[in-house]
């Protein structure tokens, strides 16, 4: 089984999640940061896991574009989707549903919400102001959830 983890990460949290996930998955696992590298050729992979993070309610545009462009070939793969974001509960669920198409989610073997991080040193001034105002957070905060990543991997490894 050869698996591709494809992701976008604005400040590194999703990249960290992708790295931890790759260590938990069985078989050959490759990671590609879609914001830095060209679209990979999916034909060489049996499984594809796609992840991104939420900013102002939306996942990175590159992820959306990649999924739309490769929709039909993705339907032929063992699929998984994950998201990093600070909201939880129904709001996180709704952001997840908005991030990935319903028909692909319906056939996915694993879906995961891995929490999020606010690291003020990594943000620009505008981002700091937005986060203080919208999230009411003024210092570094983390809901990053390694257990969720491990559960995602376990479910994915066990699926055919």
Ligand X SMILES: Cc1cc2nc3c(=O)[nH]c(=O)nc-3n(C[C@H](O)[C@H](O)[C@H](O)COP(=O)(O)O)c2cc1C
Is there binding between residue 117 and ligand X (CB under 6 A)? yes
Q: Does 22 bind ligand X (CB under 6 A)?
A: no
User: Which of the ranges 18-26, 48-56, 96-104, 151-159 carries the binding residues for ligand X, by CB under 6 A?
Assistant: 48-56
Q: Is 50 among the residues that bind ligand X (CB under 6 A)?
A: no
Return contacts of 92-101, CB within 8 angstroms, 24+ apart: 95/54, 95/57, 95/59, 98/57, 98/58, 98/59, 99/52, 99/54, 99/58, 99/59, 99/63, 99/64, 100/50, 100/59, 100/67, 101/67, 101/68, 101/71
Contact status: 70 vs ligand X (CB under 6 A): no
Give the count of beta carbons closer than 10 Å to the beta carbon of residue 56: 6
**Run of H or E residues at 105:** helix 102-107
- Of 2, 30, 39, 57, which one interacts with ligand X (CB under 6 A)? 57
Is residue 130 near ligand X by the rule CB under 6 A?
yes
145 binds ligand X (CB under 6 A): no
> Per CB under 6 A, does 84 bind ligand X?
yes
- Exactly one of 4, 53, 74, 96 binds ligand X (CB under 6 A); which one? 53
Which spans of this chain sit near ligand X (rule: CB under 6 A)?
9-14, 53-57, 84-87, 95, 116-118, 123, 127, 130-131
């Amino acid at each position: 089984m050869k698996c591709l983890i494809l992701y976008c990460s604005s400040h590194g949290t999703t990249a960290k999640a992708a790295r931890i996930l790759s260590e938990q998955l069985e078989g050959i696992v490759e990671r590609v940061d879609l914001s830095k590298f060209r679209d990979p050729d999916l034909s060489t992979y049996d499984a594809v896991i796609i992840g991104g993070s939420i900013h102002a309610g939306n996942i990175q545009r590159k992820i959306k574009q990649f999924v739309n462009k490769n929709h039909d070939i993705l339907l032929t793969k063992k699929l998984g989707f994950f998201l990093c974001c600070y909201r939880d509960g129904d709001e996180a669920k709704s952001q997840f549903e908005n991030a990935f198409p319903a028909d692909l989610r319906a056939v996915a073997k694993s879906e995961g919400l891995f929490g999020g991080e606010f690291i003020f040193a990594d943000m620009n001034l505008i981002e700091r102001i937005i986060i203080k105002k919208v999230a009411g957070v003024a210092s570094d905060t983390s809901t990053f959830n390694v257990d969720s990543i491990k559960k995602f991997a376990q479910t994915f490894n066990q699926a055919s």
